[in-house]
Amino acid sequence: MNTEYFKKTFRDIFQAEAVLFKSPGRINIIGEHTDYNGGLVMPAAIDKAVYVAVSKRDDHEIHLYSESYQSKYVSSVAAIQKTEHNWVNYILGVANEMVQRGHQLGGFNLFIYGDVPLGAGLSSSAAVECATAFALNYINQLSIPQMELALISQKAEHTFAGVNCGIMDQFASVFGKKDQAMMLDCRSMEYEYIPLKLDGYKLVLLNTNVKHSLSDSAYNERREQCDKGVNWIKDHHASVEYLRDVTQEMLLAHVKAKDENVYRKCSYVVAEIERVKKAAAALKNGDLSTLGKLMFETHKGLSEDYEVSCKELDFLVDQVKGLDYVLGARMMGGGFGGCTLNIVRDEEIDRLIDNVSVKYLEKFGLKLDAYIVETGNGSQII
Ligand code: GLA
């Protein structure tokens, strides 16, 4: 990111001096659809980020400019409303949530730019929200703790983007550290850093370049199915609050007969939480082959039981299954498109990308994009 260019462009547009913030996108090694079930996740921040330049205004107006969309938007602190532009909603959603929580916001100019690929499941929206939250916290001198900035960002996604997401993406974008994965307990919000030691291997993202439109509605529906299962179990086990507190035996006893579909959804989540624990142990022991096997299991669960995969993602995982230089692969994120995450031996990466790209183009007529993951630090002023 060329900070001088960014500052100069800001000056040209707003005739003011900017302060700059950066919030990264994320990958998730394992622990998918577990965050909103009080479970465990294992994300890491990446080196692709959203950048926000911001300055305070003397009035109460909000002036936004997006470099990627070459588009402007004007609003005011007193009249923050949802719009039909997603990029605007992520920013206004954060401002709105701060106001709702009683924080005093003044007017501001904000210029946004990013290199997190959009629609790839790398949480570009969480990055926009977190960068905005850090920026508004700073210029208004609000001293909001970092965890609350993540929660404010998550709430913006619920209220202004309409997705009832968990906390994983915003957490990763705030707390990420270079060369570290993080295991977050989404019930207690305790977390630990786990060094990403991948000796001889790298994490490779294969981007389907598709995002099927049902992704948001299906996401919210999955949440409801999980809640349904929890409620049925609560009738028998009052202390159960999340699927995190549930065992496979409880699901068999109280959910399976009522609704086979809800049972499969819940059973996937309970199994996935166990897989995260095993994956953390494997990563700490440098046992990448166990980690890889767990990733393949996660994909199977997401595809067959949780039903959030799609033919493009399944195809990409099938292509690498059985290759001795790919230890693990799975779809990543909410589903219905975006990327697969693969653990690939260093010297085979180019060959793998070439081979799979040709086959993907043949099969779907679509270009495959591939990125070798570099981890990065969390949200910060720059
Ligand atoms: C999306 C959501 C996250 C999480 C994942 C699935 O990325 O924003 O909160 O639920 O899907 O693991």
What local confidence, expressed as pLDDT, does residue 119 receive? 85
Ligand 1 centre distance from Cα of residue 141 (Å): 30
Domains of the chain, CATH where assigned? 3-197 (3.30.230.10), 201-372 (3.30.70.890)
What local confidence, expressed as pLDDT, does residue 111 receive? 97
Task: Name the residue of 165, 217, 220, 336 whose CB sits within 8 Å of the most ligand 1 atoms, as the mutation to test its pocket.
Answer: 165
What local confidence, expressed as pLDDT, does residue 214 receive? 66
The 10s digit of each residue's pLDDT in 44-96 is: 999 999 999 999 999 999 999 998 888 999 999 999 999 999 999 999 999 99
- 33 CB under 6 A from ligand 1? yes
Which among 186, 195, 176, 183 is positioned nearest to 283, based on CA atoms? 195
**CB distance 348 to 204 below 8 Å:** no
Ligand 1 centre distance from Cα of residue 32 (Å): 7
State the Cα–Cα distance between residues 13 and 11, nearest whole angstrom. 6
Task: Name the residue of 42, 169, 182, 243 whose CB sits within 8 Å of the most ligand 1 atoms, as the mutation to test its pocket.
Answer: 169
State the Cα–Cα distance between residues 153 and 20, nearest whole angstrom. 18
169, 185, 245, 314: the catalytic one is 169
Q: How many CB atoms within 10 Å of residue 122?
A: 27
State the Cα–Cα distance between residues 134 and 371, nearest whole angstrom. 27
State the Cα–Cα distance between residues 97 and 367, nearest whole angstrom. 39
Q: Quick one: CA torsion of 377, 333, 137, 161, rounded to 10 degrees?
A: 160
- 29 CB under 6 A from ligand 1? no
User: What is the position in ligand 1's atom list of the atom closest to the CA of 33?
Assistant: 12
Which among 243, 240, 204, 206 is positioned nearest to 224, based on CA atoms? 243
Ligand 1 centre distance from Cα of residue 218 (Å): 12
Token pair listed for 326: 């790919």
- 166 CB under 6 A from ligand 1? yes
State the Cα–Cα distance between residues 360 and 206, nearest whole angstrom. 10
**Which DSSP state fits 336?**
S
Ligand 1 centre distance from Cα of residue 330 (Å): 15
Token pair listed for 138: 């700073």
Q: Is 216 a catalytic residue?
A: no
> Which pTM value belongs to this model?
0.96
Residues of the chain with pLDDT under 50: none
What local confidence, expressed as pLDDT, does residue 316 receive? 98
- 171 CB under 6 A from ligand 1? no
**Which DSSP state fits 380?**
E
Residue type at position 163: V
Helix axes 86-100, 146-160, angle to 10 degrees: 120
Q: How many CB atoms within 10 Å of residue 267?
A: 21
From atom 11 of ligand 1, which residue's Cα is the shortest distance away? 334
What local confidence, expressed as pLDDT, does residue 18 receive? 97
What local confidence, expressed as pLDDT, does residue 68 receive? 84
The 10s digit of each residue's pLDDT in 245-274 is: 999 999 999 999 999 999 999 999 999 999
Beta bridge partners of 53: 20, 111
Helix (H, G, I), strand (E, B) or coil at 61: strand
- 169 CB under 6 A from ligand 1? yes
Q: What share of the chain is helix, strand, coil (3-state, %, to 5)?
A: 45, 25, 30
